[in-house]
Amino acid sequence: MLVDVLFISSYMLTKELEYELPEGSIAQSPTLQRDESRLFVYDRARDEVHHHFFHELPSLLPPKLSILRNDVSVLKARLYGQRPNGGKVECLLLRPSVSSNLVWRCLIKPGAKTAKAEVFSLTGEYEAKVIDSLPSGEYLVQFTLPKDSNPHELAQRIGTLPLPPYVRRSADKSDEERYQTIYANPNNRSAAAAPTAGLHFTKEIVKKLTKQGHCIHELTLSVGVGTFRPIETERVEDHSMHSEEYTLSPSTKSVLRASDFRRLAIGTTSVRAIEHYLSVPDENPEELTRSEAQVFIKPPYTFLGVDHLLTNFHLPGSTLLCLVSAFLAPNKTHGLDKLKQLYKEAISRRYRFYSYGDAMLIL
């Protein structure tokens, strides 16, 4: 029998999600080795903080966990072109429309000028027509491609990785490897951003985890740029949550509905897929589930399928701060205060923040 997600009426002001972060705390590049990143560990039951390195993770986990990770691969989604008058255009592919694989939802810079011009192109590679401006700030763009069958192929051939805006440099060759998890499935190349909690894993750590009796299960959630967008409404509850497509196999779904193992979610993207799936009826448990995760997780919240969380440190004013706050104190409202306390300690100890930064394990 499905348990309904518990939502309790409360108000949170968006300004409460702000915290002071020194510019130098924002990681601009990854560590030399993936598992050299630091690991901030918070034990909720004991209210204790411990400081480790990521390669110590296998020795820090409870026994025999079901570990759920997002195997999505990041698309080289940033395309460059120009308007008919010669003005430069930057186009970020987000996802294809349901009507045609040649029509994509995109972010465009400069948006207004390009929409007014209606078209942009890169000689010999593509022509693009802006066919609609969406309330979300995105645009519907129809592509004409002389060399490729769809924009996905075009992007993988000539596009660049869309590093987050707070990484103040252009992507280079090394990012093509380090801004993907080691378990990213090239057949699931549909993300505009990496599921960054997974960037710390190495093959050696995965082998240790499986040898210790942990079971690793895959899911796929196509991470969108909405994950970086700040909440712009005065009240958190008035924010319109972005949606992201996810896919769950029958075997992963059976793990989520079982109760014999505790579950560790690798990253907030995994949490969103898990919680959305468990909040709605599944009429076809033996078939693949493809759906849209639009669940907005904020305090107070009852988690249906996550017992432990591995995540990175997140942006002020973001929906991800809401999610982690809710996880720190399930069903209660004081999680944000605890999160600010933990982040303050992390900053004082010079942890590195955001996508290429260090990790936090919440037990």
CATH class for domain 14-74+175-362? alpha beta
Q: Is residue 12 predicted with pLDDT exceeding 90?
A: no
Average the pLDDT over 24-29 and give the result: 98
Share of the chain above pLDDT 90, in %: 85
Amino acid identity, position 358: D
Kind of pairing, strands 48-53 and 65-70?
unpaired
pLDDT in tens, 301-327: 999 999 999 999 999 999 999 999 999
pLDDT of residue 9: 43
Q: Is residue 212 predicted with pLDDT exceeding 60?
A: yes
Which stretch of 9-13, 146-150, 198-202 has the lowest confidence by average pLDDT? 9-13
What is the average pLDDT value for the chain, to the nearest integer?
A: 93
CATH 2.40.10.240 fits 78-158, yes or no: yes
pLDDT of residue 10: 57
pLDDT of residue 5: 40
Tell which wins on pLDDT, 2 or 20: 20
DSSP string, 70-115: E--EE---EEEEE-TTS-EEEEEEEEE-SS-TTEEEEEEESHHHHH
**pTM score of the predicted model:** 0.92
Q: Is residue 186 predicted with pLDDT exceeding 60?
A: yes
pLDDT in tens, 142-152: 999 999 999 99
Phi, psi of 36 (to 5 degrees): -85, -10
Share of the chain above pLDDT 70, in %: 97
Tell which wins on pLDDT, 14 or 73: 73
pLDDT of residue 209: 98
Locate the domains of the chain by residue range: 14-74+175-362, 78-158
Average the pLDDT over 88-101 and give the result: 91
User: Could you tell me the strand order of the sheet in which 244-248 lies?
Assistant: 48-53, 38-43, 359-362, 308-312, 262-266, 65-70, 215-221, 244-248, 289-293
pLDDT of residue 231: 82
Q: Is residue 61 predicted with pLDDT exceeding 90?
A: yes
Q: Which position has the token pair 């497509």?
A: 245
